[in-house]
Amino acid sequence: MNDLLSPERAASRVSVGREGPFLGIHAVVIFVRDQDKSLRFYVDKLGFDLAFDALLQSGERWVAVAPPDGSAVLSLVAPPPDSEEYKLIGRATGVVLVTEDVIGTYQKWRRRGVQFSFAPRLRRVRYGHPGSVQDPVSPSGGQPSAWGGVFTRFRDVDGNSFALIGFDEVNREIETQRRRIAEKVEAERRAAQELEIATQVQARLFPQTLPPLRTLEYAGACFQARQVGGDYHDFLDLGRGRLGLVIADISGKGIAAALLMANLQANLRGQCAIALDQPERLLRSVNKLFYENTSDSAYATLFFAEYDDGTGRLRYGNCGHLSGLVLRRKNEFERLESTCTVLGLFKQWECSIAERQLFPGDTVVLYTDGVTESFNDAGEEFGERRLTEAVKKYRELSAQAMIASIVDELRRFSPQEQHDDITVIVGKCRSQ
């Protein structure tokens, strides 16, 4: 490059998105006689922050300070008196500090006892070699690069000299960046507020009451990986002593999945009146509405079951969902496998209904893949085997306590950050 980097470009230039290894300035060395005295000067008089104060393995003390914006680090090095570096103490450092208010900073620092070489001057400032303020010719051989600005010089306790400069262009750039930051903060605040509202709204979409049954104790819970998610469970009063148990997993995550979840819930609850005698008709209708009201790539796995409180009969449609589990009294499992494909991908869609007879002592468990696909530090999944072992282990607990114990065991197995929603429904058959 032949042209010097202008102040406004220097102020706004960032490395985000650049290719190649990271490259940055580690520290600028300032030679001093007494690190403690220098530290107090930079912190107390200039308002710098302490960046480091550590004892290295070599026995040397590393002290460093940084300006309030953290844009650079000054390493305060105390060389031995007989060294060549010691002779550099009290000279021009070549370090240039930039501020939007040179006069205000000058007045504040003077009141704190900082010594300046001269009062701030308003003039055309030209850049020469790094850290200098003079009138050089530009490297390209043309006219010197120049900007309007105010500058002065000050010295630290050892006489090391620094330049304090304010450029018109830099001031404008700083103000522009402040506006951008303020706008970003406000946008983030609004987004967080909207997400909180969405969280509250979605919480109301989950079951608020449990229709009472004589022969089935049941419960459900959803533990979301984010504030909102795509897992859904529900308990529907179908009338005449029948209960609809629903669990679903929407494609995607976050807000998009939550909106699809709300759409599916509205479709299902709006159509559940026709499920009394024809659950397959209900599911066809739900698929049609979900297909028509969502994008081509949106889909959901769903398990819908109708439980008859009088007979103990369970009729279900498994729409591409994980197999439900029935733990019989003899400690044997039956799997409630898929009876049709997922919802929302196909306009022409058919569903078959399967049936199981439940008896006192039987336990039904429905769940989403956030349970079985949770993994530990070794990359092993919790899996169906561990789930069935947990169901057997906690089968004597109440439905709600059983869910809590299974999830606790899952979290002990996978203690890291939760990556997917975890939803579980448990139903335990009582004596009639």
3-state secondary structure of 278: coil
3-state secondary structure of 167: strand
> How far, in Å, are 199, 230, 406 from residue 268 at the CA level?
21, 15, 28
Is residue 98 a contact partner of residue 166, using CB atoms and an 8 Å limit? yes
Q: CATH 3.60.40.10 spans which residues of the chain?
A: 206-429
**pLDDT tens-place string over residues 186-221:** 888 888 777 777 777 767 777 888 898 999 999 999
Distance CA 255, CA 417 (A): 19
Distance CA 96, CA 163 (A): 5
Do β-strands 161-167 and 92-98 pair in parallel, antiparallel, or remain unpaired? parallel
Q: What is the pLDDT of residue 260?
A: 83
Is residue 228 a contact partner of residue 202, using CB atoms and an 8 Å limit? yes
Q: What is the pLDDT of residue 34?
A: 95
| Cross-sheet strand order for the sheet of 74-77 | 28-31, 74-77, 61-66, 49-55
Tokens of 15: 């490395």
CATH, range 7-14+21-178: 3.10.180.10
Q: CATH 3.10.180.10 spans which residues of the chain?
A: 7-14+21-178
Distance CA 178, CA 10 (A): 16
- Residues of the chain short of pLDDT 50, as ranges, are 1-17, 125, 127-146
The residues, ordered by sequence, that sit 6+ positions from 229 with a Cβ below 8 Å of its Cβ are 202, 222, 253, 254, 257, 258, 261, 421
Which residues, listed in sequence order, are joined to residue 298 by a DSSP beta bridge? none
Q: What is the pLDDT of residue 95?
A: 93
Distance CA 112, CA 45 (A): 6
Distance CA 324, CA 347 (A): 26
> Is 150 exposed, middle or buried, given 0-12, 13-18 or 19+ CB atoms closer than 10 A?
buried
Helix/strand number for the chain, H first, E second = 9, 20
Q: What is the pLDDT of residue 121?
A: 86
Q: What is the pLDDT of residue 2?
A: 38
pTM: 0.60
Second CATH level (architecture) for the domain 206-429: 4-Layer Sandwich (3.60)
Q: What is the pLDDT of residue 140?
A: 38
Is residue 170 a contact partner of residue 98, using CB atoms and an 8 Å limit? yes
Q: What is the pLDDT of residue 112?
A: 95
Q: What is the pLDDT of residue 246?
A: 94
Q: What is the pLDDT of residue 310?
A: 92
Do β-strands 74-77 and 92-98 pair in parallel, antiparallel, or remain unpaired? unpaired
Of the candidates 305, 157, 162, 187, the one whose C-alpha atom is nearest the C-alpha of residue 242 is 305
Q: Which uninterrupted H or E stretch holds 363?
A: strand 363-367
